[in-house]
Chains A and B, each alone.
Chain A
Amino acid sequence: QLQLQESGSGLVKPSQTLSLTCAVSGGSVSSGGYSWGWIRQPPGKGLEWIGYIYHSGSAYYNPSLRSRITVSVDRSKNQFSLNLNSVTAADTAVYYCARGAFGYKPPYFDYWGQGTLITVSS
């Protein structure tokens, strides 16, 4: 059974960089045809797609966040990561990592991590 687990600092200061990692078990980030994505949810609000990446390293980002995001994949550690720089309070959210369904671009997401709350505050 595929499992995804987010990890990272829960509290980030304004203007700094938010860094999250998603560890994948029960499957491989090197599996062709799947993508690996990030979605966030501000407290009490809806879902926002952030971006996704393939094992090849090809990444696709939400245009509204593109200038601040980097998504990368580490095949040796079977994990992928999100960096979001110049954060503000508006970036406070639960961040989910997820697997993009096989063969779709953009994907829908068939497996999700449990999510991690990131708070931006001084």
Chain B
Amino acid sequence: DIQMTQSPSTLSASVGDRVTITCRASQSISSWLAWYQQKPGKAPQLLIYKASSLESGVSSRFSGGGSGTEFTLTISSLQPDDFATYYCQQYNSYSGTFGQGTKVEIK
């Protein structure tokens, strides 16, 4: 199984900050990576697919990058609505494994 590891687990930031979350795969997954945002009590929402493609309707503040085993999700200027937990998911192998999540908190 491919393991996905996100860092940091928790991130404290202020409105307007540029923040970056990292997701590492235990083996190469090419660009087969998605990012989701989840708010408390809500279902995850797709942000990015194929590592860097922005899902329709998602703010351009969000961008994704990377390939192979290392990937990033960047929020260019953190807004109040962006405080949430973010998950990566690989969809290269048989099992579409998720990362453990990164919680973005208000500093």
Q: Mark B42-71, 1 if CB is under 8 A from A, else 0.
A: 111110010000010000000000000000
Contact present for A108 and B43 (CB under 8 Å): no
Q: Which of A48, A60, A98, A113 contacts B94 (CB 8 A)?
A: A60
**In the complex, number of A-B residue pairs with CB atoms less than 8 Å apart:** 55
CA distance A48 to B96 in the complex (A): 9
Question: Count the A residues whose beta carbon is within 8 Å of the partner chain — how many?
Answer: 20
Among B43, B87, B97, B100, which residue has the most Cβ atoms of chain A within 10 A? B43
Residues of B within 8 A of A115 (CB): 43
Among A104, A108, A110, which residue has the most Cβ atoms of chain B within 10 A? A108
Contact present for B44 and A108 (CB under 8 Å): no
Given contacts A63-B1, A108-B34, A110-B55, contact A47 B87 (CB under 8 A): yes
Residues of A within 8 A of B95 (CB): 49, 62-63, 106
Interface size class of B (residues with CB under 8 A): 20 to 34
B89 proximal to A (CB < 8 A) = yes
Report whether over half of chain A's contact residues are helix, strand or loop; otherwise say mixed: loop
Contact present for A106 and B98 (CB under 8 Å): no
> How far apart are B99's CB and chain A's nearest CB, in angstroms?
7
Residues of A within 8 A of B99 (CB): 46
Residues of B within 8 A of A110 (CB): 46, 49, 55
Residues in chain A within 8 A of chain B (CB atoms) = 46-49, 60, 62-63, 96, 98, 101, 104, 106-110, 112-115
In the A-B complex, the 4 residue pairs with the smallest Cβ-Cβ separation, listed nearest first, are: A108-B34, A112-B43, A106-B96, A47-B98
